[in-house]
Structure 1
Amino acid sequence: MLAALILSFAVIFVAELGDKSQLMAMTFALRHRWWVVLSGITVATTAVHLISVAVGHYLGAALPTHLLGILAGVAFVLFGLWTLRGDKLSEDEASKAQRNSAPAFFAVTSAFLLAELGDKTMLATITLAADNDWVGVWIGSTIGMVAADALAILVGALAGKHLPERLIQLGAAALFLVFGVSMLIEGAFPAASGIVIGAISVAVVALAAAALRALPPRLRPAALRPAPQVAPAPEDAPESAPSSVGGDGGRAAAPKPSDEPA
């Protein structure tokens, strides 16, 4: 059970980095007390992940054992690609997080229940529970998500701004892809050593990253596109000669004749 707990904690913590759940946690932390937000997240996560491990446990019991590793590898590769695509709050989710007038605890709990249903962290929990102790996966995945969202709450409460999104997305996607490729290789070649599997996995992901970087920017995943350039502020124009505001068409006003005798 301990191994399943540690594995699921690590996987779900990585999956939550840069996820929309963190964006929601930051937004809620700007409006409500941190312990209320964290309590709502914990309740919602416990419920969603209990459903996830139940589905994964019975699904795993119905599948041949040798297929689980390959299916898990495919799933984690998809998680990595999903992370590269990027994840942002929809207008409806942002509105719920910013303007909900219901009591804070119930607002946070309901928002996270809806946001996590069908999310990649739920799918990752199902995948882990299919081949590991379900109790360990349940506890580890719940702690992993709460810890990741607690980090977002801390940032939202203290700094009020996001973590470096591009770096987080690239790091999380790379970990998912390496993990997924290693599962696929291990499922296809069970006799291969761990060092060889790890080296091949890193090489495959590095080659895939180089291939994606070679594509035109519009064809790359969102996390690999160049950051939009901010137009520099226009320089101050040289001061022009003063002109009349009246209806003289911008001509300089004629000097008034002097009242003093010549």
Structure 2
Amino acid sequence: MHEFLLSTGIVALAEMGDKTQLLALLLAARFRKPIPILIAILAATVLNHGISAALGQWVTNVFSPDILVWILSIGFIAMAAWMLVPDELEDESGSIQKWQKYGVFGATFVLFFLAEIGDKTQIATVALAARFDSIWWVMAGTTFGMMIANAPAVFIGDKLSNKLPISLIHKIGAFIFLAIGIVTLVQHFYF
């Protein structure tokens, strides 16, 4: 359960102001159908984060524990730095229009899945699954974290996003990633 809660919190914080959250805002403004958008975001996230968590588990079988500790620690510390860089969403109206022939669900699913590839939350999912040796709890937690961040974006849109202290949220997320990276090293070498 610890893996679920930590994964949820980290990804919910990492997703605030992230490009996929901005995409959720755009999709909601374009289609104005929150339920199919949310179901598509959930489906795309489950698939993407399921693959990512499996990759995280696979990595634990490829590298020795000593090398894995360094990879994970440096990865979490790098994620802390990355959290401090604000995301921007290029003009996605062309992409939305290209995929809209597949309907609200299809366009949202494809665009969200593609936008999540190489994103902070996907990389965090890989690292968390490797760190905690848990595919299911990490995938469930990261998916729940994505939904916590994106559901309000879909339902409330710009009204709420302009009032959230995104910079502070990113700093808190960066601190958590940094702490996990340092704790991972300390636990390995001193306990």
**Would you say the 8 A contact 1:16–1:22 is kept in 2?**
yes
Give yes or no for the alignment of 1:118 onto 2:118.
yes
Q: How far did residue 95 of structure 1 move?
A: 4.0
Which residue in the other structure is 2:21 paired with? Answer: 22
Q: Which has the higher helix share?
A: 2
Residue by residue, what CA displacement relative to the aligned partner does 1:157-204 show, whole Å, maximum 9, x if unpaired?
7x27533332333332233223323323333x424xxxxxxxxxxxxx
Structure-1 residue corresponding to 2:180: 179
Does the alignment pair 1:140 with 2:141? yes
Percent of residue pairs bearing the same amino acid type:
34
Taking the aligned partners of 1:12 and 1:27, their CA distance within structure 2 comes to 20
CA displacement at 1:120 relative to structure 2: 1.6
Q: Which residue of 1 aligns with 2:64?
A: 64
Is 1:12 paired with 2:28? no
Counterparts of 1:146 and 1:168, CA distance in 2? 16
CA deviations 1:27-76 (Å, max 9, x no partner) are: 22223221121111001001101111121111112222244333222111
Instruction: Give the 3 Å change call, closer, same or farther, for CA 181–95 of structure 1 in structure 2.
Output: farther
How large is the Cα RMSD of the aligned pairs? 2.3
Distance 1:185 1:83 in 2: 22
Partner of 2:180, secondary structure, is helix
Question: Residues 56 and 35 of structure 1: is their aligned pair in 2 closer, same or farther, counting only changes over 3 Å?
Answer: same
Change (3 A) 1:20 1:100: same
Number of aligned residues: 187
Q: Which has the higher contact order (CA 8 A, sep 6+)?
A: 2
Structure-1 residue corresponding to 2:54: 54
Q: Report if aligned partners of 1:26, 1:160 keep a CA contact under 8 Å in 2.
A: no
Separation in 1, partners of 2:180, 2:97: 36
Distance change >3 Å, CA 174–CA 3, structure 1 → 2: closer
Counterpart of 2:75, as a letter, is A
TM-score (norm 2): 0.85
1:80 is matched with 80
Q: Which runs of 5+ in 2 are unaligned?
A: none
* Alpha-carbon spacing, 1:67–1:96, altered in 2? closer, same or farther (3 Å): same
The AA in structure 1 aligned to 2:84 is L
Aligned to 2:106: 106
TM-score (norm 1): 0.64
Alpha-carbon distance in structure 2 between the residues aligned to 1:67 and 1:181: 15
Alpha-carbon separation, structure 2, partners of 1:97 and 1:166: 28
Larger radius of gyration: 1
Consecutive unaligned residues of structure 1, counting only runs of 5 or more, are 192-262
The separation in 2 between residues aligned to 1:155 and 1:172, in whole angstroms, is: 23
Residue 127 of structure 1 corresponds to: 127
Equivalent in the alignment of 2:90: 90
